[in-house]
Amino acid sequence: MVSSVYDGDTFTSKGIRYRLFGIDAPEIKDKNGNFTKNNKHLFALKARNFLKENILKKEIEIIEISKDKYNRKVAKISYKNKDFSKELLRNGLAIIRYISLDVKSPFYTKDKEYYEELLNEVYHAKKWKKGFWKIYNSDSEVEKNLY
């Protein structure tokens, strides 16, 4: 059961801290521990609230992939057949990150089908102007303003 949701891509279940596979949501706090500001903070809260509303206090399916540099378990998570990396991308609340088809990358995955599904979710979020795609028109604008 999910006991807490820290932000749009990090949660705790059964005492274990997890990070969602293949995505990155805007940060609530910066590297110095200060709250982020403006749209960065707004979309960080929207992503966290979206994840909270959908997985908090629920028994979710967790498929562990690896561990990250903060020793969190990186995982695909789903509830009622909804994959939440895809859901966050579909709603314009996260970007694709920490996943690659390049065998030399530390984020390499053999799961080309999943990677392409993530790309498809971003394509539709942009097309339908979901989440931060209502405000920003390009990947570079999103990176500059939210990450």
Q: Tell which residue, 59, 31, 34, 133, has the closest CA to residue 89.
A: 133
Q: Which phi and psi (to 5°) does residue 111 adopt?
A: -85, 75
Q: What are the extents of the domains in the chain? A: 2-146
pLDDT score for 56:
97
Name, in order, each residue with C-beta under 8 angstroms of 135's C-beta and a sequence gap of 6 or more.
39
pLDDT mean by block of 10 residues, the chain; 147 residues: 97 97 96 93 97 97 96 97 98 97 96 98 98 97 95
Confidence (pTM): 0.95
Q: What is the CATH number that goes with domain 2-146?
A: 2.40.50.90
User: What is the reported pLDDT for 44?
Assistant: 97
Beta-bridged to residue 83, according to DSSP, are 78
Query: By CB neighbour count within 10 A (0-12 exposed, 13-18 middle, 19+ buried), where does 26 fall?
Result: buried
